[in-house]
Chains A and B, each alone.
Chain A
Amino acid sequence: MDPSSTPVVRRTSRRRLLQAAGVGLAAPALTGCVTSGGNDDDAAVAKGRTSAENPLGVPEKTPLEVVIFKGGYGDAYATNAEALYQQRHPGATIDHKGIQKVGEALQPRFVADTPPDVVDNTGAGRLDLATLVGAGKLTDLAELLDAPSIDDPARKLRDTLLPGVVEDGTLDGKVYSLNFTYTAWGLWYSKPLFDRHGWSYPTTWEAMLALCAEIKKAGIAPWTYQGKYPEYLNDPLLAMAAKAGGQDLVRAVDNLQPGAWKQQPLLDAAGAVAELAGRGYLLSGSEALSHTESQAAWSQGKAAFIPCGSWLEAEQKGITPDGFDMVMGAVPALGAGDKLPFGALLAASSESFLVPAKAKNPRGGLEFLRILFSQPAARKFAELNSTLPSVAGATDGLTVSTGLGSVRGAVAAAGTNTFTYRFRTWYAPLAKAVDDATGELATRRISPAQWADRIQQAADAIAKDTTVTKYRR
């Protein structure tokens, strides 16, 4: 599994079911051609002279081939970055391809060692990062990260990225991919609705329960959730646990430590979710609603809070009534003893860019990324897509919608206090066990203790399974 993918990608893949099935059908056909390639003697890699203007030594006349996943974000932001590349390197011709099935198109080229120079490896049909790394098909991006940034040559590119972005592309201690978009998770509500009733966003769970009682009195369901896909409800649960238990708790969970799921903060967070259900604070029937149905109910004002990632505003475009002005807040603190501050965020990057090891112009590929991750290119992306890029400060001064503005504010407030669980992408069967258990927890068919027991069993089974590749962080 791709350790840098996020629930955004997971969700897309579920919706693109048939598309994915098509890729799957094509997969067996690829088995026959996997043993070729592996030519070890490196061809002389084209390299130009390095200078302050050209720190990565891009050869001036070598063409550049860029392959972009043309999904929800389109590829206009990439052609924009290519134009900037062309300005800096007028001698180069650029071959741009915006495609949907990245894996299908590129697997044979990786096998034959004739890959493009830079790839946006995203979407349901993307190539598995761990497999590519294992086969030695990718360039280590350390040099790029240590290169001076376009906007301020005194700062390394590494230092211009939002917290966690470098880690998200790291596998076995080396950085092989750089993720361009940034997703944060939290609780969403309509600001005008809260203002009208004089409600303020609760920063502790106690305050949340008190507010829920008031919301219910006003004739609105306090919460709804995307019950058909219980992973959406996991996000606030796991975020609350991580804030209470700190990064150590997250690491213990991801590293499959014995008893990791029975840590007190996880039990408390599960208890909190169970309490919402127990007190009747969940919109009835939520457990059978899809993400579109529950989010529509929320947009219609039938429920006050909904947990979701920062893509929600863009997804609800066209459904949200005027003046709804949605905003996202960090999940409340479980208690006074929390290890991370209230503003700490569950956040991760996605839209994974990589430079193939056998590219004809790897220097150009790296340079393209240096340009893409610059302020002007990232800003253009934010303008085009209302999504936060993973470049720090890229949207500063930009007039943005309430949703994106609140996400930007939350990310700024969190600072380095962001965290992300990796088990979802490392151990998909464990993710399913957690989803199932949380679905049962939210309908009160199991208790928080049973919730922890079930998941711990699943985690132990994976820890014992010798056929599963283990990762550590």
Chain B
Amino acid sequence: MAAMRHGKYRFLAGAILPGLLLYAVFVLSPYAQAFYLSLTDWTGVSGQVTFVGLENYQRLLDDRSFLAALRNNGLMLLVVPLATIALGLLLAALVNFGGRRGSTMLAGIRGAEFYKIAYFFPQLLSLPIIAMLWQFVYHPNEGLLNGFLRAVGLDALARAWLGEPGLALWAVMAVLVWSSVGFYMVLFSAAMESIPRDVLEAAVLDGAGRLATLRRVIVPLLWDNVQVAFVYLGVLALDGFAIVQIMTVGPGGPDGATEVIGLGLYRSAFTYGKFGYAAAMGVALFFLTLAFAAIALRASRRERVELS
């Protein structure tokens, strides 16, 4: 008996250890190194490294561009997940239940499958391509957006979208939402298909309108998915590096208006040669993301809706 148990543990250890080892080498140790580097003044090229304690973190608090980045990432954290989830739910509901077939509202609109593919399409493009594409859309003189505004006689609304501090971040956030909403539409759509029809029919028989059904029946049943989407989108909003780097003036501008933490980190490391300081930013971002995920999961915990 004892020998068998011993053998079982040996088997388990043999199965788990390689994985743990890989995890330690490729996930934990880089983090540990980053933590260590954030306490040094490493320049990234020279061999001399001096331990400076918490000095890098102290500097972060005085760094105007880092504070601007915190503010911008904060705004993105508020706007991007909410807008994406709201739009994703709405589009998914339209595709699944928006049709007008017969007396009930349980049919999807015509061409639902086409819409699913069309909306999902941006997900297939890499972020740099999306950023390039939208840079053309926002082009102040030949861009699609200003061209459209001028064509419909709204010349006064045409802007240098990425050139004005008050607009640039919103223009970037719109692209982030555009690029991810299709994926969440498909995700929510799949979840909606698994909702038993009789639940919805009961709601309709009880006289619930479309919006009420969406809000009170469908969304609660989809809550697990929404929660996961919220965490994923939050992490996306805390990053934003690639799109800001490619699209914006400066980049990170005009005048810091679209600065994000990832960009400041990149600039500190590769332009200023301050890898230690950049590592401190990375560690700060790590804890921010961790805290966000924990809070998001805890705050959005709800009672499970039982279907039976």
Contact = CB atoms under 8 A, between A and B. Distances in A.
Central interface residue in A31, A127, A435, by most chain B CB within 10 Å? A31
Given A285-B163, A288-B138, A428 B47 contact: no
13 contacts: A27-B45, A31-B42, A134-B46, A229-B250, A230-B253, A284-B160, A288-B160, A288-B161, A289-B139, A289-B140, A428-B273, A436-B254, A439-B253
Interface string B264-283: 00110111110100000000
B33 A28 contact: yes
Contacts of A35: 47
Contact of A436 (B138, B250, B271): B250
B250 A230 contact: yes
Contacts of A288: 138-140, 160-163, 249
Contacts of A107: 45
Central interface residue in A34, A127, A135, A288, by most chain B CB within 10 Å? A288
B96 to A, nearest CB: 40
Contacts of A439: 249-250, 253-255
A429 interface: yes
Interface stretch (A16-24, A342-350, A356-364): A16-24
Contacts of B47: 31, 34-35, 111, 135
Central interface residue in A24, A128, A285, A287, by most chain B CB within 10 Å? A285
Given A284-B140, A288-B162, A428 B271 contact: yes
Contact of A24 (B44, B160, B256): B44
A303 B47 CA distance: 49
A445 B138 CA distance: 21
A460 interface: no
A160 B104 CA distance: 89
A228 B141 contact: no
A440 B272 contact: no
Interface in B197-252: 245, 248-251
A227 interface: yes
A20 B250 contact: no
B123 interface: no
Interface string A259-303: 000000000000000000000000111011110010001000000
Given A428-B271, A440-B254, 11 more contacts: A27-B44, A27-B275, A28-B33, A28-B275, A34-B47, A227-B163, A284-B160, A287-B249, A289-B140, A436-B256, A443-B254
Secondary structure class of chain B's binding surface, majority of residues: loop
A35 B48 CA distance: 9
A200 interface: no
A349 to B, nearest CB: 22
B28 to A, nearest CB: 15
A131 B33 contact: no
Interface string A414-455: 000000000000001100100110011001010000000000
B188 to A, nearest CB: 34
B255 A436 contact: yes
Contacts of B139: 285, 288-289, 293
Nearest to A128: B45
A21 B270 contact: yes
A87 B37 CA distance: 51
Contacts of A127: 45
A339 B93 CA distance: 72
B160 A287 contact: yes
B289 interface: no
Interface residues of A, number: 41
B141 A285 contact: yes
Contacts of A229: 250
Interface in B54-100: none
B122 interface: no
Contacts of A31: 42, 47, 49
Given A17-B245, A35-B47, A467-B41, A428 B272 contact: yes
Nearest to A1: B273
A141 B42 CA distance: 29
A471 to B, nearest CB: 14
A1 B33 CA distance: 24
Given A31-B49, A128-B273, A439-B249, A287 B44 contact: no
B147 interface: no
Contact of A445 (B37, B249, B255, B267): B255
A21 B42 CA distance: 17
A227 B249 contact: yes
Interface string A98-116: 0000010001000100000
A20 B135 CA distance: 22
A227 B165 CA distance: 13
Nearest to B268: A429
Nearest to B161: A288
B272 A34 contact: no
Nearest to B168: A288
Interface string B281-298: 000000000000000000
B141 A297 contact: yes
Nearest to A465: B59
Given A293-B139, A440-B255, A34 B46 contact: yes
Closest 10 CB pairs of A and B: A34-B47, A285-B140, A288-B163, A287-B163, A288-B160, A288-B162, A285-B141, A131-B46, A128-B45, A285-B160
